[in-house]
Structure 1
Amino acid sequence: MSRATIKDVAEAAGVSIATVSRVLNDRGGASATARTVREAAERLGYAPNALARMLITQRSMTVGLLQPMVSDSFAGQVLDGVEDAAYELGYSVIVCSTGAGSSRLEHYARLLASRQVDAAVVMSTALTQTQHELLRALALPYVVVAGSTPDPGVPVVAIDGQQAAADATTALVTAGHRRIGMIAGGADDPVAGIPRVRGFVAACDTAGIAPDDRPVEHGDFGYDSGLVAMRRLLERRPDLTAVFAASDEMAVAAMTVADEQGRRVPEDLSVIGFDAIPLARMTRPPLVSVAQPLRAMGYRAMQAAEQLVRGEPLPAAAPVAHALTVGGTVGPPSGGPPFGDPVGPPSPRS
């Protein structure tokens, strides 16, 4: 059985081929005529030729998502947002896993350019000047989500990670804690490592907590590295009463180690995580965490990418709002019931 052609749709709808093209490419036409054309196309199972459309519009209606090795849940929520907006805008998404190194990102950037994608969304990456210049040389407009770029003119959709970490630490201080450990991400990670440590240290400085009472161990944001880091923290300071982890997986690992050592959460140890992924709601008690609206961030990034493709000016992006979730893993150091309302700032940062 042969595929329906645009000529078949035109004959079935009783209009010209040009009218069918205008309607199916969303370029106008009377509402009644447009409805007739779309009904005919659906009835015949007509699918526009993507290559022909690209030759006419000079757009492939495709974006590339460049994502490193991050938590499946984290990346999945951002991808869901990108896909939601892409579907509404009539785009397709090509997902490329760039890993931790720069060579794969550069490889996939060239690949996306060769496939004539219209734009790229770069996730959880601190782009270097070299990578930025490559994307520019490839004439590939891009948006960054939960990352950074050396060009202030490129749209970035992200929270203020340093402020979010400071707010989480302040919540522990407000609950009465003075010996607070941190399980941080990579020591040289400019996106989710360094800023979150800076926020933790700044909040401790503000509270007058001495350096010896705020030890930091590093992991890779994953559960296994969190186990190792938590054990190291407790070896260094077995009298810690609270831990702030730079990811939810590492926070859950901290709770696991606490349980292994007979420490109750939150009676003996308070814990706060970061990202508020679904896992945080599944722990017992539920994990208090810094919430990033990941799906909304992906959605906004895709919208910004489409605006770039259209050549529309984009206003400077303000940081996305963050907030602490309600949970049961924070309490006073002497024991007592966990808090039932969000702690920290009275309202999300924006």
Structure 2
Amino acid sequence: MDKIEKRIDSFIKLGQFLGQFSRTEIKQNDSIAFNDIFFDGFKHQLKLAEENNTWFTKENLLFSCENWSSALTIENIKKWISDEELHHESNNKVAIIMAGNIPLVGFHDFLSVLISGHSVLAKLSSNDKHLLPFLAKYLEFTNEDFKGKIEFTNEKLQGFDAVIATGSDNTSRYFEYYFKDKPNIIRKNRNSVAVITGNESEKNFEDLSEDVFRYFGLGCRSVSKLFVPQGFDFDAFFKGMFKKQEIINNTKYANNYDYNKAVYLMSEFDILENGFLMIKEDESYSSPIASIFYEYYDNSDDLKIKLYEDRDKIQCVVANDFIENEVKFGQTQHPNLWDYADGVNTLKFLSTI
């Protein structure tokens, strides 16, 4: 087995390991490699992650594990890397500055760097610091070649050859200046939108509730803006959202809902709400927690032009047969390995350094 095949095999084993941790049940499978060392430890790390960040509920942590388990199959990995020339071995060290908005949000970059043959120097967010170092140890057990190629740091980044950094629009300016002399991918704020035509089914809106509420709307793939036709009746939308009504039982979410509702009312904004979600007409893409913006459109051609012109602000477009590369209702939080953040092919970038 050559080095690339060994790296692929390690991530397949990791996917099988994560498959034991689902929202349905957490159940140990004795056939999983190194389970005697890692199974109980990962259960503990999930508990620590939940205690460290109250947005990281057990439901959302296990949802993330399910997603990565589904993604890390031999079929998916082979398809993902098929068009790229990967390094069998590289002396390059790639720094990754990770966000902490959703569980394991930096895992795709981590995976991309290692599968490409490079070393990782990762700077974790304090909001998501428990899971990835533990999974990195698992990888080192499955493949000794990874030992010495994975490093986590809280210090100033030094001794790296390229960088992948994810942050806000403000931090991206700093990143662009600080890393200007290194090959880099710098990611900025993005949000996801849904295009409503008026022909949606009841199930479409129920599925859309997953795109709106998964991870409390904190992900860049979370829908924060609707485009609706003139005269659209929001009753069907709110009926679909009702599927996620229990979200208001989360204290942190409820506090944000109350606060943002008070701000809107004091500002005398015209809002519609159903007790756990507010909608407001607004041209912006990034809506506060517990709210979603909407904007009317007159015809589909003009909207398609607008979506193209604003493509640098948009991560996903949810729709039914409206636009190229759209995401189906309910699927924004199930990206494939080849669905790159900001549309930048990370593997291609890594194959050129």
TM over 0.5: no
| TM-score between the two structures when normalised by the length of structure 2 | 0.29
With normalisation by structure 1, the TM-score equals 0.29
Larger Rg: 1
